[in-house]
Amino acid sequence: MSDQTPALRLEGIVKTFPGVRALDGVSLSVMPGEVHALMGENGAGKSTLMKVLGGIYQPQEGRIIVEEVPTVMTSPLQAKSKGIVFIHQELSLAEELTVAENIYLGELPRRSFGRVDWEKLYTQTDAILAKLKVGFNAKTIVGDLSIANQQMVEIARALTVDAKAVIFDEPTASLTDAEKVVLFDVISDLQRQGVGIIYISHRMEEIFKITDRISVLRDGSYRGTLETRNTTEEEVTQLMIGRALDLSRNESNHELGDVALEVRGLSCGHMFKDVSFDVRRGEVLGFYGLVGAGRTEIVETLFGLREPSGGKILLDGEEVRISSPADAISKGISLVPEDRKGQGLVLGMNCRDNMTLPQVGELSSGPFVAPGAETAIFDKYKEKLDIRTPGWKQTVGNLSGGNQQKIVIAKWLSMHPKVLIVDEPTRGIDVGSKSEIHNLIRDLAAQGYAVIVVSSEMPEVLHVSDRIVAMFSGRVMRTFTSEEVTEESLIQAISGITATEKVA
Amino acid sequence: MESMSKAGIGRFLARQGILIAFAVFIIGFTLANGRFLSPENVMGVVRSSAILGVMALGVTFVVISGNLDLSVGSMMSFSTIVVLDLHDKIGPVLAIPAMFVMTLCLGAFIGFLVGYLKLNSLIVTLGMLSAIHGLTLTYSGGQNMDIADKEGTWFSVFGQGSALGIPVPILIFLLLAALLGIVLAKTPFGRKVYAVGGNGTAATFSGIKRARIVFLCYVMSSFCVAVAGLIQASRSLGSQNTVGQGLELDVLAAVILGGASLLGGSGTIFKTVIGVLILGFIQNGLLLVGLQFYVQFVVTWAIIILAVWLDIAAKRGKLLSTIA
Ligand SMILES: Nc1ncnc2c1ncn2[C@@H]1O[C@H](COP(=O)(O)OP(=O)(O)OP(=O)(O)O)[C@@H](O)[C@H]1O
Ligand SMILES: [Mg+2]
């Protein structure tokens, strides 16, 4: 490999934003046919480096060299024409347009007089979609697709050009296992064609499965490159966060309290049927299942976003009707939603105001908002969750993906709810902070909160939960205690393989 | 930062473009007519902008919440006609609150349609523009409305009086601007308006009652319209049915000139006041250099389009840089 010319080299890249030195002289080289992992904590500068490469940001210093030719990337379209394809961390699709239009945006095939050649557009697109084995076609409107499928559309974009290097920025954050398999197939195809691949992810198991080398950034500077074959998770973590990770679960032996939330025979159309479970104070209840198993729909119903078609919800033993999120919040239920950009944050608002939004009324003194109290909350959680931002005034949209997620978590933690529901709490969060958030969830339980954790990551559910509800296709298949659960039994339960024992 | 890139300059221009264009206008007008920056003229501009300004304050709330209000012009005609009519029938002391209640009802109705029934605000307020015009004509029977005893009423104080040497309309405008500026910037309600306009779904997920916020914004807007109608009626003590016609566009132009985004979620009262003054000076300048009154319509439109274009251009730049 070493005698080849690199597909791509970055030299001494410096990029600053007001108050932040995001990249401090970073160099990197990617060989053709190599899958090169880029790792680092939230806010380390990974996405920024890739945006420099993709022509979205202009660096203050440094050079980009594509196949030994120094190149200035002036715009995303120009970068694409040089063979650099960028699949973004946050989706950047036009929701009202079709899949085909999104994939070929800016370069639709033309007939005479500049008319769009729709037929060609659709056949080309369908050919690409076939390779990705997705369940939608060229004419589907992007807004109608699930987040995971929208991600697949982003990926399809990469396959339309003769790429020299493809950048994947946390592509698997919202993919199911099956979709991941397809993605990895696509990656190894590209690899065989000699394309250099830069792969950003916080998931160690993926990194070790598909990458050849791992480069690590920390606080905007380059920390080194490791051969994946010759390294370990511990070594990478050490390089990333400068210390070893404590992965032990803090088992405080606190007493479980009364049942805080009880759900009996809850149904909602065809989304989920006859769901029953309860959560006690001091307990973490995990919900595990495939995407589409109805977990998100259940928590949305508990949060007043959906009207149940049958069944009962009891809070502290009393039956309640939850008519809206405002109602849920006043009853002491909080939800960290799964889609931070769409549901969790007002991107144009600053960090502090986002964090205190649900309680801005309660915090007010007289008729006025109380900036002092709000800033105090912000400072407390910035410290507690290690949120990297120059200050509360920073617009949330300017934070790194993981730090945005932390703002959403802080927003709901700071409400001190009776029942805290978190849907995919650590999506896009680095290993260090992830274990901090897991510890935090355990701590909350120890303090007497009832916590529900919905997650698609088995290690996460196994790690944080006291009991686990396994769901399949809108039904509760089985509820495990943490003593009895095994990976195999859990996998069986969520694939609907176990004989459907009815849990009364 | 040290070396501003091409894109950086573009973004700077997009953001400051209005102020630069304004500066060019001012210099041009002053060269063309020395009277332009005289104290009397400046005071005149502010004074004649007061009615428009008061309406723009309310519309700022609506626009930040992510909606439009094109009904304010015809609603202002309604308020003016109603208060003039009632003045002679039940006396000013009762006429004023009665007019406020009626105008607020109109605002509440629009707020109900856009907020609770989630109808498109452009369609609703455009429809209300003509519906209210019809209502006004029905009310007045198509006649101009005049106060019988123009000399003897204290009602003229709102439009013609002055205190501390400052005309009352200007005082009302500035006081209301200060008050609403505080409401928008310093109260939980104001914060919620930004949240609803910035990301309605996230606002709902945060327990904000989106429909209610939108509703209140329209009520706020109609309150400002009622104040504007009061000033207008008091200034002229008589009025045609069409006195507010076309003002909705000037108001919108002022709000957007001030930098509120039509996409919602941004803008401030202070910026709207600046927008009102910019518009006032430009229109006054055009008159001073001897252009026909009607040319103003063309210019107002050109300004709206320019402002919207700059807004979108700036957003694009920003969007590109925020996709993580
Ligand atoms: N447009 C911007 N304006 C100001 N600061 C920014 C901007 N974009 C990024 N930053 C800052 O630069 C730093 C690096 O951000 P970046 O998005 O590159 O992190 P990351 O490594 O991708 O993190 P994550 O794993 O959370 O996605 C962060 O501190 C972030 O707040
Ligand atoms: Mg990132």
**Token pair of B300 as six digits:** 């107002």
pLDDT digits over A401-454, tens only?
Answer: 889 999 999 999 999 899 999 999 888 888 888 888 898 889 889 888 999 999
Average pLDDT over residues A65-88: 88
List the single best residue of A91, A167, A345, A349 to mutate versus B (max B Cβ within 10 A): A349
ipTM exceeds 0.90, yes or no: no
Contact A121, A104 (CB under 8 A): yes
Closest CA to A220 of A382, A426, A13: A13
Average pLDDT across chain B, whole number: 87
What pLDDT is recorded for position B197? 96
Confidence label for B130 from pLDDT (cuts 50, 70 and 90):
very high
- Does A134 have pLDDT greater than 90? no
Closest CB to B198: pick one of A60, A329, A348: A348
Which of the residue ranges B37-46, B241-250, B277-286 has the most confident prediction, judged by mean pLDDT?
A: B241-250
Same fold yes or no, A8-241 and A258-495: yes
Average pLDDT over residues B282-293: 80
Lowest mean pLDDT: which of A211-220, B138-147, B283-292? B283-292
What pLDDT is recorded for position B12? 58
Confidence label for B107 from pLDDT (cuts 50, 70 and 90):
very high
When comparing pLDDT for B105 and B21, which is higher? B105
Average pLDDT over residues A275-285: 94
Confidence label for B323 from pLDDT (cuts 50, 70 and 90):
very low
Percentage above 90 pLDDT, chain A: 54
Average pLDDT over residues B180-202: 96
What pLDDT is recorded for position A497? 67
Q: Compute and round to an integer the Cα radius of gyration of chain A.
A: 24
Cβ within 8 Å, pair B205-A56: no
B8-316 is classed CATH 1.10.3470:
yes
Give the whole-angstrom CA distance, residue A46 versus residue A240. Answer: 12
Q: What are the boundaries of each domain within chain A?
A: 8-241, 258-495
- Indicate the SS3 state at residue A217: strand
Closest CB to B266: pick one of A345, A348, A367: A348
Ligand 1: distance of its center to the CA of A23 in Å? Answer: 9
Cβ within 8 Å, pair B187-A358: no
Average pLDDT over residues B148-159: 88
**Token pair of A312 as six digits:** 């009962």
Q: What angle do CA A103, A107, A110 make, to 5 degrees?
A: 115
What pLDDT is recorded for position A251? 67
What pLDDT is recorded for position A502? 43
Closest CB to A47: pick one of B1, B7, B324: B324
Contact B228, B25 (CB under 8 A): no
Closest CA to A122 of A148, A98, A149: A98
H or E, element range at A313: strand A310-315
**Token pair of A153 as six digits:** 């559309």
When comparing pLDDT for A192 and A157, which is higher? A192
Ligand positioned closest to the Cα atom of A38: 1
- Does B43 have pLDDT greater than 50? yes
Give me the CATH topology for the region A8-241: Rossmann fold (3.40.50)
User: CB of B198 within 8 Å of any CB in chain A?
Assistant: yes
What pLDDT is recorded for position B9? 55
What pLDDT is recorded for position B16? 60
Average pLDDT across chain A, whole number: 89
Query: Ligand 1 pocket: which of A15, A17, A50 to mutate (most atoms <8 Å of CB)?
Result: A17
- Does A218 have pLDDT greater than 70? yes
What pLDDT is recorded for position A306? 93
Lowest mean pLDDT: which of A56-70, A309-323, A428-442? A428-442
Residue in chain B nearest A360 by alpha carbon: B188
Ligand 2: distance of its center to the CA of A429 in Å? Answer: 9
When comparing pLDDT for A437 and B211, which is higher? B211
B residues 67-86 closer than 8 Å to A (CB): none
**Token pair of A75 as six digits:** 């715009």
Indicate the pairing of strand A272-280 with strand A284-288: unpaired
Residues sharing a CB contact under 8 Å with residue A20, sequence separation 6 or more, in sequence order: A390
**Token pair of A365 as six digits:** 């003194």
Ligand 1 site residues (CB inside 6 A) read A 17, 20, 22, 40, 42-48, 89, 388-389, 398-403, 430; B 321, 324
What pLDDT is recorded for position B320? 43
Contact A252, A239 (CB under 8 A): no
Q: Give me the residues paired with residue A468 across strands.
A: A286, A480
**Token pair of B75 as six digits:** 């609603």
- Does B247 have pLDDT greater than 50? yes
Which of the residue ranges A142-146, A436-440, A456-460, B176-180 has the most confident prediction, judged by mean pLDDT?
A: B176-180
Which of the residue ranges A102-106, A287-291, B210-214 has the most confident prediction, judged by mean pLDDT?
A: B210-214
When comparing pLDDT for A253 and A116, which is higher? A116
CATH top-level class for A258-495? alpha beta
Closest-CA distance of chain A to residue B212, Å: 12
Alpha helix (H) ranges present in A356-466? Answer: 360-363, 371-384, 401-413, 431-446, 458-464
User: CB of B315 within 8 Å of any CB in chain A?
Assistant: no
Q: How far is CA A38 from the centre of its chain?
A: 16
Closest-CA distance of chain A to residue B201, Å: 6
Closest CB to A367: pick one of B2, B7, B187: B187
User: CB of B316 within 8 Å of any CB in chain A?
Assistant: no
Q: Give me the residues paired with residue B281 across strands.
A: none
Atom of ligand 1 nearest to the CA of A46: 21
Residue in chain A nearest B209 by alpha carbon: A326
Contact A374, A363 (CB under 8 A): yes
- Does B322 have pLDDT greater than 60? no
Average pLDDT over residues A253-277: 90
What pLDDT is recorded for position B324? 33
**DSSP string covering A224-291, please?**
EEEEGGG--HHHHHHHHHSS----------PPP-SEEEEEEEEEETTTEEEEEEEEETT-EEEEE--T
Residues of B in contact with A358 (CB under 8 A): 206-208
Contact B85, B241 (CB under 8 A): no
Q: What angle do CA A250, A256, A258 make, to 5 degrees?
A: 150
Closest CA to B241 of B118, B112, B76: B76
CB atoms within 10 A of CB B319: 13
Closest-CA distance of chain B to residue A361, Å: 5
Residue in chain A nearest B2 by alpha carbon: A60
Closest CA to A462 of A448, A442, A447, A446: A442
Indicate the pairing of strand A272-280 with strand A318-320: unpaired
Atom of ligand 1 nearest to the CA of A89: 27
Closest CB to A337: pick one of B188, B205, B266: B205
CB atoms within 10 A of CB A2: 5
Give the whole-angstrom CA distance, residue A304 versus residue A327. Answer: 7
Q: What are the boundaries of each domain within chain B?
A: 8-316
What pLDDT is recorded for position A504? 38
User: CB of B10 within 8 Å of any CB in chain A?
Assistant: no
Specify the residue with its C-alpha closest to ligand 1, atom 3.
Answer: A398
Q: How many residues does chain A have?
A: 504
Give the whole-angstrom CA distance, residue A21 versus residue A18. Answer: 8
Residue in chain B nearest A337 by alpha carbon: B205
Q: Compute and round to an integer the Cα radius of gyration of chain B.
A: 20
**DSSP string covering B101-142, please?**
HHHHHHHHHHHIIIIIS---HHHHHHHHHHHHHHHHHHHHTT
Residues of A in contact with B194 (CB under 8 A): 346, 349, 353
Cβ within 8 Å, pair A367-B201: no
User: CB of B199 within 8 Å of any CB in chain A?
Assistant: yes
Ligand 1: distance of its center to the CA of A402 in Å? Answer: 9
